[in-house]
Structure 1
Amino acid sequence: MAREESKVLLDALNKTTACCHHLVLTVGGSADSQNLREELQKTRQKALELAVATGTRLTVALRDRGLAAEERAEFERLWVAFSGCLDLLEADMQRALALGAAFPLHAPRRPLVRTGVVGSCSGVAARALSVRSLRHEAGRDFYVVDLQELEREVLQVGEMINDMEMKVSVPHWTVQPRQTAGAELLSSASAGASSAMSVPERSGHCDPSKALAATIFSAVLLAAVALALCVAKLS
């Protein structure tokens, strides 16, 4: 039961980490917006929750000295996959932090054209307190708070990785995979080769009636060509 639950948690973490990676790639690009930053915040927080739950479950299982050898080998494979997800999540969060700081959503901009028009301070203040300006301020507050939270989350993932290495020692090179590297590619290639070999075998079978019809058609065609040449010479 514990192994199946760990697999379910790890599968959810893998999908959430992949989604987070996809969102991070769009930060600073033409599709960047506050909606994207909010979606990225929700996704990485969900990934953190799944990482904590998965790490706790796997740690308890691997520290059990009464675990059978087959069960331990399976949990070690899950542990290696889990550590890979954490490494990718940490790298993506660091990239999101760097890109978010380099491409702020509401950076102050200087006017390109100075008209020289001046007015009273009350009119300027009234325009500054418009609905659009209030939304702008709310977005800027979200941007600042999000970067601060992201910085704390990066430290949290780093501490989680160090804590994992202290509690459970599972060297990656000692974990035996279920199948050899590239086994799926080799199986698909062999299947394609066998199907390709079966095509000539089927096409090699000759039907006598079809061969006779082809011979008669060729003879008629040659006779028609010869007759056409004779007519051309006589004319």
Structure 2
Amino acid sequence: MAREECKALLDALNKTTACYHHLVLTVGGSADSQNLREELQKTRHKAQELAVAIRAPLTAALRDRSLAAEERAEFERLWVSFSGCLDLLEADMRRALALGTAFPLHTPRRPLVRTGVAGDSAGVAARALSARSLRHEAGGDFDVADLSVLEREILQVSEMIHDMEMKVNVPRWTVQARQTAGAELLSSASAGSMGGASVQERTRPCDVSKALAATVFSAVLLAAVALAISVAKLS
């Protein structure tokens, strides 16, 4: 039961971490806004909650000496995936901190992505973008306050990773995957060969009909040439 629960939580953590990674890439660009910063905060908090929920049962299972070898191997695979998610989350949090510091929301800034818009329309767009809702005006320093919180959370994630490595020693290079190397390529290649065989089977009748048509055309052409030669001799 613990393994299935860890799998479900890890799947949710994978999706949340991937979502956070995608959001971080837009910080400082033309799509950057306070809505984005708030979404970043919610997403990273969700990822940290999932990480805390996974760490306890996963650590307890791997420290259980009575665990069967097959069960331990499965938990070790989950552990490697979990460690990879935390490493990516920490790296993206550091990237969000650097970009958020370099591109604050409420000061004149130059976006990373240039849209190419210039002239009077650019002024209209700038005035439209400067209009904020009352909720955002109330929290005008949201991004500045969140950066200090983000710094503390980065330290917490780093401590979590260090604590995990101290409690459970699972070298990543010792964990064996379920599938052999290149299994996906082999499966796709076999599917492609089956598709090619089916195409060949479908094209066989077409090839026979083409050969028959070519034979008839050649016979007609030879008859026409012979007739032309005969007419030439008679004349």
Q: Please classify the TM superposition score into its range, dividing by the shorter chain length.
A: 0.7 to 0.9
1:156-212 superposed Cα distances (whole Å, 9 cap, x missing partner): 100000000111111111111111222111210232134324534554468877755
Query: Which runs of no fewer than 5 residues in structure 1 stay unpaired?
Result: 110-130, 229-235
Judging changes above 3 Å, is the alpha-carbon distance between structure 1 residues 140 and 218 closer, same or farther for their aligned structure 2 residues?
A: same
Superposed counterparts of 1:16-35, under 5 Å: 16-35=16-35
Q: Report the alpha carbon displacement of residue 108 of structure 1 after superposing the two structures with TM.
A: 5.6
User: Structure 1: how far apart are the matches of 2:206 and 2:8?
Assistant: 55
Q: What aligned pairs does 1:134-149 form with structure 2 within 5 A after superposition?
A: 138-149=138-149
Residue 6 (1) aligns with residue 13 (2): no
Q: Is the 8 A contact 2:26 2:32 kept in 1?
A: yes
The equivalent of 1:170 in structure 2 is 170
Question: Alpha carbons of 1:133 and 1:24: their partners in 2 closer, same or farther (altered >3 Å)?
Answer: closer
The correspondence of residues 1-235 of structure 1 with structure 2, limited to 5 A, is 1-107=1-107, 138-200=138-200, 203-204=203-204, 212=212, 214-220=214-220
Identify if the C-alpha distance between structure 1 residues 219 and 19 changes in structure 2 by more than 3 Å, giving closer, same or farther: same
Q: Deviations over 1:18-45 (max 9, x none)?
A: 0000000000011000000000110000
Do the aligned partners of residues 33 and 133 (structure 1) sit closer, same or farther apart at CA in structure 2, a change above 3 Å counting? Answer: closer
- 1:219–1:24 CA distance, 2 compared to 1 (3 A): same
Q: CA separation of 1:139/1:107 partners in 2, compared to 1, >3 Å: closer, same or farther?
A: farther
Percent identity at matched positions?
A: 82
Residue type of the partner of 1:78?
Answer: L
Helix, strand or coil for the counterpart of 2:64?
coil
Shift of residue 60, structure 1, vs aligned partner? 1.1
Question: Is the contact between residue 106 and residue 139 of structure 1 (CA under 8 Å) also seen in structure 2?
Answer: no
Counterparts in 2 of 1:81 and 1:133: CA distance versus 1, 3 Å: closer
Alignment partners' CA distance in 1, 2:134 and 2:204: 79
Residue identity in the other structure for 2:15: K
Shift of 1:148: 1.2
- TM-fit CA distance, 1:3: 0.4
Paired residues, number: 210
Render the CA deviation track for 1:11-70: whole Å, top value 9, x for unaligned: 000000000000000000110000000001100000000011011120111111111111
Alpha-carbon spacing, 1:32–1:226, altered in 2? closer, same or farther (3 Å): farther
1: CA distance, partners of 2:199 / 2:50: 50
Larger Rg: 1
Q: Distance in 2 between matches of 1:42 and 1:150?
A: 12
Larger displacement relative to structure 2 (134-143 or 156-165): 134-143
Q: 1:184 to 1:133 in 2, by over 3 A?
A: closer
The answer to whether the Cα contact below 8 Å between 1:86 and 1:161 also exists between their aligned partners in 2 is yes
TM-score, structure 2 as length reference: 0.78
